[in-house]
Amino acid sequence: MPLKIMKLAITGTTSVSVDPTVERFFNEVAAQVVGAGTITIPVEDFWTDTGADATTLPALATDNSYFNVYINGVLQMESLSTYTPGGTGTGQLVITVPLGSTVEANSPVVLVVTNYAPDATTDIVT
């Protein structure tokens, strides 16, 4: 008999699901901010999708989350925002307004927090 490579007869299938949880928070800037300056929005100054007052900003899942900040409907650069999750008195969003930039009073600020809960299942048949 000639030489041959022996290998296992195994098949496998993997199912992956990615389940995002998206939470949106809304605010209107109270007064004009001319850069260099900051806008600090505590959790209690945000509204939820239902119009209710926000009570907590969600934690960011390690390596499976992100947040976006929009001012007047325009996505802002990541380095301009600092997000701190938590409830009343701790959760907040701080936006840095660079020199030469202005955020007008009553401008809408939208914070979008996305967390993923990925799951994978592998079935091996021998």
79-119 pLDDT per residue, tens? 999 999 999 999 999 999 999 999 999 999 999 999 999 99
CATH 2.20.28 fits 20-117, yes or no: no
The predicted structure's pLDDT at residue 62: 94
What are the domain boundaries of the chain? 20-117
The predicted structure's pLDDT at residue 72: 98
- Does residue 38 carry a pLDDT above 90? yes
Q: Mean per-residue pLDDT for 45-67? A: 97
Q: Shortest CA distance to 42 belongs to which of 81, 77, 94, 78?
A: 94
Tell me the residue ranges of DSSP E strands in the chain. 11-17, 20-28, 33-34, 37-42, 56-57, 65-71, 74-75, 81-84, 86-87, 92-97, 102-103, 108-116, 119-125
Alpha carbon distance 66, 95 (integer Å): 16
